[in-house]
Structure 1
Amino acid sequence: MASLGGFVKQYQITIDPNRLLAYNIPLMAVMEAVKKSNRDVEGRVLEFSGIEYMIRGRGYIKGLQDLAQIAVSTDGRGTPILLKDVADIRLGPEIRRGLAELDGKGEVAAGIVVVRFGENVLSVIERVKERIKNDIVPSLPKGVEIITTYDRSDLIERSIDTLKEEIIKLSIAVSVVCIVFLFHLPSALVVILTLPLAILISFICMFYLGLTSNIMSLSGIAIAIGAMVDAAIIMVENAHKKLEAWEEAGRPGNRTDVIIEAAKEVGPSLFFALLVISVGFLPVFT
């Protein structure tokens, strides 16, 4: 979450110079004591029962009380002089160099949700909305509200819906063209059925590979429909011609053998043609 506007909370240490003078403590000694008391330190390892355990000192400041108990020096009797003895410690806002406002109606505190690489944007947006509605809004003080200024989910959903609609239109148009040009309904059905089957297999592969139905993936499916139909039309048309010649020759042999022979004739060429097209999409996945 990237935040804009509002105040940044910080620990504020207001040192009293008169107390420093009374204890004869230089200012740099106080600063150095605070720095050294707000860090983790590492040690060696402790071996126990054949297992080595890492030793680490956790010393980050977690509250005002931790700051107050920092020893900055000692007096003549060796008694520690604590930070609270020479300074006032409190929580306060960092000095601001600007502010954020919305539509010129006054100051606001804003937050931008940054999605991690590889995450599903729509899923993240839905989880954020649910968290805001169920956890954050009920706990807001009176007069404070959360206003959404930009939501990408609407744009993403409309883009995906548009692509889905275009894929359906393209499939219908291709089906009509197949029926008209092949002029043989059973042969045309073979070509037409490859469309939903290929799209279904594509979505199954995307699911198991962890790919989402986004603009890029749907656009790729739309582009690939033409290539798939071309290959299917060539295969079916060649088989159709072979069967016609087989009928005219008096049906010698087996019908299945004729179809297999037709597939062997154009199959290798179609395979390598589709392989070249597929290789063109490889840079998308790298």
Structure 2
Amino acid sequence: MINRIISFSIKNKFIIGLLVVALVGLGIYSMSTVNLGSVPDITNNQVQVITVAPNLGTQDIEQFVTYPVELAMANLPDLVEIRSVSRFGLSVVTIVFDDEIGTYLPRQLVQEKLNDVQKSIPSGFGAPFMAPITTGLGEIFQYTLKTEPGYDTVYDAMELRTIQDWIVKRQMALVPGVIEINAFGGYVKQYEISLDPDKLKSMEITMPEVFTALENNNANTGGAYIEKNHQANFIRGEGLARSLDDLRSIAVKTINGRPILIKDVAEEVKYGNQVRYGALTQDGKESVGGQILMLKGENPNSVIKNVEKRIIEIQKSLPKGLKIEPFLSRSSLIERTTSTVTKNLVEGALIVIFVLVVLLGSLRGGLITASIIPLSLLFAFILMKQFGVWANLMSLGAIDFGIIVDGAVIIVE
């Protein structure tokens, strides 16, 4: 059989040459487009269901939230295991599926069950939702919003967080391959109304009435349209509060023909912030940052390049005196890993070529045998691209050129 292959190759040099050229071309294409990472991602095929209920203790979370979710997910097809964590105000249920059914079918199955689970969870105990489609290695980029010299007193922690949430995050979410942007640091802006209990009591107004008034008077409504002269005039009612004065002027109820406004029963209407449990500091000063998570299965090297391009565009829309400063990027780790693998492969190939030339006693025979190394490597990249195997320290670092050329040495001899 081997003699026939050798004979065919010698008699049909043109065909063999074309096959080699095709192998090289397809191999170079696969090598340039294969997913490039630093280390292999061994995260199993899982879906996490998260429920946040800040007022509930651990026992209530387990009984009224975690248990119903686990029970609803117990009979899903291709299920491997279910595990959960119940803590004060938080429930996390991890559902692990078989790898063969893909990424999106399990999420569809879980979402169908969540629609039913929501009915069994008591009102006010939180709404379960699925975590983003990412893995333990999905964190690829982190950055901070930094003030330039001379603007330290212009932007406080609340303004920086508002810019992060409403300018940077919204534009960064459009980057291909990015699944979520988590913000941390600063203060989340809120509108706070401090009610005066004595005023409420004297005017016979209850707190639920204040809540209802705020809810009903802080919204825009549509009023269909009026047709006139063969034209449709659309009606739109604008009632959305856009300032503190708008909130102060909301009417709670009417007493003896006189409207009672929020400012009549409130001690203060002001800007406030959510209760926070930590802070981000940079160079000894409080700062605001963001964490970018990558979609599962995407090429981290390509996603990071897209993120860096988008940062340049976002920088143009930031207020004067602010800049986005990256402080953690997976690209540097990928670059060091790729450099290490490339160095090892080149050095290994040169040593093997030298040994072959010396042992075979023929420069031509040694080079012919050594040509197996790049061709085998290109063929490996073709298969890696075909079967979705990532190029990283583990998959490339295990290549042994001595074993690759072993058969070629025997044939040449």
Instruction: Give the TM-score band, short-chain normalised.
Output: 0.5 to 0.7
Secondary structure at 2:324's aligned position in 1? coil
Matched, 1:118 2:294: no
- Write the distance in 2 (CA, Å) between the matches of 1:165 and 1:205: 22
Q: How big is the shift at 1:121?
A: 2.0
1:156 aligned to which of 319, 325, 334? 334
Asked whether the 8 Å contact 1:20–1:26 carries over to 2, the reply is yes
Structure 1 stretches of at least 4 aligned residues deviating more than 4 Å after TM superposition: 28-35, 71-77, 81-91
Q: Cα distance 1:122–1:64, how it changes in 2: closer, same or farther (>3 A)?
A: farther
Matched, 1:225 2:401: yes
Secondary structure at 2:376's aligned position in 1? helix
Q: TM-score, normalised by structure 2?
A: 0.41
- Write the distance in 2 (CA, Å) between the matches of 1:96 and 1:29: 29
What residue identity is the alignment partner of 2:345? I
Deviates more, 1:191-200 or 1:155-164: 155-164
Unaligned runs of 5+ in 1: 36-62, 241-286
Alpha-carbon displacement from aligned partner over 1:163-183 (angstroms, at most 9, x marks no partner): 112211211211111122222
- Write the distance in 2 (CA, Å) between the matches of 1:196 and 1:117: 31
Aligned-pair Cα RMSD in Å: 4.1
- Write the distance in 2 (CA, Å) between the matches of 1:208 and 1:13: 60
2:190 aligned to which of 2, 6, 10? 10
Secondary structure at 1:149's aligned position in 2? strand
Indicate the percent of aligned positions where both proteins have the same amino acid.
Answer: 35
Unaligned runs of 5+ in 2: 1-180, 216-239
Q: How big is the shift at 1:98?
A: 4.4
Asked whether the 8 Å contact 1:64–1:89 carries over to 2, the reply is no
What residue identity is the alignment partner of 1:197? L
- Write the distance in 2 (CA, Å) between the matches of 1:173 and 1:99: 53
Q: Cα distance 1:33–1:174, how it changes in 2: closer, same or farther (>3 A)?
A: farther
Count of aligned positions:
208
Higher strand share: 2
Q: Cα distance 1:204–1:17, how it changes in 2: closer, same or farther (>3 A)?
A: same
- Report the equivalent of 1:134: 313
Q: TM-score, normalised by structure 1?
A: 0.56
- Write the distance in 2 (CA, Å) between the matches of 1:93 and 1:201: 58
- Write the distance in 2 (CA, Å) between the matches of 1:225 and 1:25: 84
Q: How big is the shift at 1:209?
A: 3.4
- Report the equivalent of 1:56: none
Secondary structure at 2:287's aligned position in 1? strand
